[in-house]
Structure 1
């Protein structure tokens, strides 16, 4: 649990308990429900893109197989390992603050940020290599080695899906910076660490989405 019980009287409420909640448990449950509702909208966003991918894949299977040869599965696999490792460090950060280990919390938040930045660095090299070849989305595609009437559609889908996912990674980095700053100021303890757990949920969803993107775009 991300919080502990508190007395019902307002003057004895802990600092983190908002006035419209009667207990820390109620506040945590409300926050977690709100986060899950938000994450459902994120899943729906990517579900629409997965549907678009599936439709084009069914219509033009040969084109998609041919186009995917321009993607580097080793770099995609590396990024998959990086994100899986970051999910582990997020889980560790929650474990440490549950045991009032602020140092462990800060270290694992920093490791998660480092993994997220590493993911973006790998993606940067992937993108710049493709741009150098002329592999752009839509009508700007100009790479002659892999050409066809619908190759550009594949890369439009690729850039949209990986780009929006990358934006979520950037948002995650911002959230981890915010958590780290608060952690260094001693704002979290075993009695209250709701923001850490909620950001952890967000990050797990970001990782899970990539686990679906990687095989669909790079392997199949």
Structure 2
């Protein structure tokens, strides 16, 4: 059963009543606040990309060799999955704006399924890399022993696992937010007239997929012309 939004009333010292602007109606304020949050996300990942670019100038050949060992088929598949998920999330928001709540919910569910598929493929990829001896904490990525890779490759894989892991954490947060959004829609607290929460979660998902659009070519493609694709971790 839908719950009608009841405005909050504040009374000043003279006894005059004033309607308090709630977040349900403060669409532009809600957008501005969330854009400021997204700026912090861009700054965080942007700093990581700057560090990656700097180390690449110091160890270009090591970066190319390390990149050639990543599975571009799995990375490319995940790229397509996230691009499609951005489409389904956007269609869900358009359906909500048009008053098609059922259609909006179906698109949100589709986005959740695609996000889970992304995590599943990433888990398969990380498992394969672990079995090849390439993972944080293993000897190959520990400098100063006989099994360790060249320092440039250690830097590359350290950044790779850090950034893809952090991105995966954002995917998990996004799934949680979408499940919460579905509950809010079912409770009637997100609707055609009050959809700022839906808008902001869609915006969050946009930044998640855009970050991956930069992660994929930088990590997976810089070694594409050096060694044939596949998990050549030897």
Say if 2:88 and 2:111, in contact at 8 Å, map to a contact too. yes
Higher mean alpha-carbon deviation, 131-140 vs 156-165, is at: 131-140
Deviation at 1:100, TM superposition (A): 1.1
Counterparts of 1:9 and 1:137, CA distance in 2: 52
Paired positions, count: 207
Q: Gapped runs of 5+ residues in structure 2?
A: 11-18, 223-234
Counterparts of 1:147 and 1:23, CA distance in 2: 53
Q: 1:22 to 1:113 in 2, by over 3 A?
A: closer
User: In the alignment, what sits opposite 1:40?
Assistant: 39
User: In the alignment, what sits opposite 2:70?
Assistant: 71
Which of 155, 158, 172 is the equivalent residue of 1:156? 158
Say if 2:72 and 2:220, in contact at 8 Å, map to a contact too. yes
User: In the alignment, what sits opposite 1:204?
Assistant: 206
After TM superposition, the score normalised by the length of structure 2 is 0.81
Q: Secondary structure at the match of 1:104?
A: helix
User: In the alignment, what sits opposite 1:109?
Assistant: 108
Task: Within 5 Å, give how 1:48-127 maps onto structure 2.
Answer: 48-127=47-126
Larger radius of gyration: 2
After TM superposition, the score normalised by the length of structure 1 is 0.86
User: In the alignment, what sits opposite 2:172?
Assistant: 170
Q: 1:145 to 1:115 in 2, by over 3 A?
A: farther
RMSD: 2.6
Counterparts of 1:186 and 1:23, CA distance in 2: 15
Say if 2:24 and 2:195, in contact at 8 Å, map to a contact too. no
